[in-house]
Structure 1
Amino acid sequence: MLQVDGHSIMADPWERCRTLLEFLVADHALSPPWTLCPSTRDLAVAREWLATWTRTPGIEGWW
């Protein structure tokens, strides 16, 4: 997402952009193939995602 209501958000903090994106997905009741990827700042959670999700067919990084 690069703009909201015609205004660039490219210089905005990541947290604000993420919040705007979450509202966009919720407001429009988007469903697959539109999917908002999960996000975390918790290192343990991120490691668990990397260890388990990369083995799931259909998820990028699976081999």
Structure 2
Amino acid sequence: MENAQKCPVCGVSIVNDKVFFSSGSTGTLARLQARVCQFAKQPGCINTDEDKIGEVTAVDGYLKP
């Protein structure tokens, strides 16, 4: 895959800024930040460039019932 990366922390695959989670639909770097990275906070995370992540919105996180 062109421009493919795999995060050693959470195991997601990122191809051209499209995130492939282990289950469910694909997402964005902002969605990855909202759902995983902000909690994992471990060295080696590949989703750290705030300019690429962009704005994290309410729809990026898990919706509370």
Bigger relative CO (Cα 8 Å, ≥ 6 apart) = 2
Using the size of structure 1 for normalisation, the TM-score is: 0.29
Please tell me whether Structure 1 or Structure 2 has the larger radius of gyration of its CA atoms. Answer: 1
After TM superposition, the score normalised by the length of structure 2 is 0.29
Higher helix content, 1 or 2: 1
More strand by share: 2
